[in-house]
Amino acid sequence: MTMANVIDLNAWRHNLQMGDKGPKRNLTNTIAHLRGLQGLGKSLRFNEMTQSIEWNGKPIEDPDIVDIRLIIERNNYQPQDRDVRPAIDRVCRENSYNPVTDYLNALKWDGTARLERWLPHLLGAPASDFVRLVGPKVLISAVARAYEPGCKVDTVLVLEGEQGLKKSSAIAALFGEDYTAESVSLFDQHNKMVMQMMGAWCVELAEFVAVIRKDMNAVKGLISMRSDRVVLPYAKMASTHPRRCIFFGTINPDSMGYLTDSTGNRRYWPVTVTKIDIEGILRSRDQLWAEAVHRYRAGERWWLEGDENKVAASEQVERQEEDAWAPILEAKLYGRTAVTTDEALTELGIPHERKDKRAQMRAATALGQIGFERVKTRPTPGAKPIWAWRRLP
């Protein structure tokens, strides 16, 4: 090693803040040592997915703080206790990285389209128009969340299949085990729930039926959230974290009739799976994601619009839990092509004082289940338009 090399390696020392007895023991100089010392600066990084500081590729723990301090001290500098952790945090954040986008950026698509058929080929799903429609959108939405944390993704792919079919293993194979969370409770304290999701690219909602039946509105609200505000470990203040994950649900086939919200069912994309090829997923994964990145960058949307919602609705209605009022109204309204909500409640024997908002919403759900749609109509020519229900042809 030449003298020129030595001077170059230690040039950072010339910028240290000096006192009467040498470099000052302050935060600025501690940061400078972490940046300048060989084996430290470049190995201290911040993982944007896990929101954690790392040293040599692993999350920093208390013993690591001691080891890092010893390295600094061996180089003739005594940092103050209060400065070490903030200095490490600062230098790590200067070297932030995202393992998911790094992975996606390194992929090169071979030009062969696979996204429309990955669900039938790799999970044994039916090759229906609906499956071909949502298959690409699910993966493109995951890519969108990786590149645009917090972008709107409020849909859940629900995998319906026998117990032991390895649905969870399929999700882990597709997204990577390190970036999948399957033990997240949506009903824990919010801070705890977010910490369970931290680092995940896909969150599996196992036992999905039990989850939505416990509190359907809470689930709807949580999957629609675009960011979370929490206090991270070792932090003193709350911080906002845009969502980087999407959600998958998994259920067993004996749970048909599990969707209970006629207005919120659009969020759930149910797909029956029969035969999962884990090895096939691992072989195809890179090209699936490469194509998803290509289509995302080309501006393809990951949500349903227009007639696409009708395609999805045909699958969602098959999973809708039948309200006990539905068969009663089916019999009472036999032969009728139109009815108002108030008339439907009267047919059910509901007295006027009980025709509240909750009863009206339940009647609306039941009417939708027996083939009526809500429309605006005029009771008589020239009358003010009112909302009513018309039987679909």
The tens digit of pLDDT for each residue in 172-193 reads 999 999 999 986 776 667 778 8
- Measure the CA dihedral 32/35/37/43, to 10°: 150
What was the pLDDT predicted at 4?
46
Look at residue 255 in the predicted model and tell me its pLDDT: 55
- How wide is the angle at C-alpha 24 spanned by C-alphas 18 and 26, nearest 5°? 135
Domains and CATH numbers, the chain: 3-97 (no CATH), 100-319 (3.40.50), 325-391 (1.10.10)
Whether pLDDT at 156 is above 50: yes
The predicted pLDDT at position 247 comes to: 95
Query: Residue 66: its pLDDT value, please?
Result: 94
Share of the chain above pLDDT 90, in %: 57
How many CA atoms within 13 Å lie on the side-chain side of 387? 8
The pTM is what?
A: 0.80
Q: Which of these, 319, 228, 230, lies nearest to 267 by C-alpha position? A: 319
212: Cα separation from own chain's centroid: 16
Closest listed residue to residue 79, CA positions, set 66, 62, 95, 94: 66
Specify the 3-state DSSP secondary structure of 367: helix
DSSP-based three-state secondary structure for 156 = strand
Token duo for residue 284:
């195809």
CB-based contact 73:81 (threshold 8 Å): no
Model pLDDT, residue 262: 63
- What is the pLDDT of the chain when averaged over all its residues? 89
First to last CA, the chain: 87
Best-predicted range by mean pLDDT among 41-50, 114-123, 235-244? 114-123
As given in the structure block, the two tokens for residue 58 are 């692993």
Long-range CB pairs of 116-122 (<8 Å, 24+ gap) are 118/284, 118/288, 119/271, 119/273, 121/277, 121/280, 122/170, 122/276, 122/277, 122/280, 122/281, 122/284
C-alpha Rg value of the chain to the nearest Å: 28
Q: Which of 63-67, 204-208, 385-389 has the highest mean pLDDT?
A: 63-67
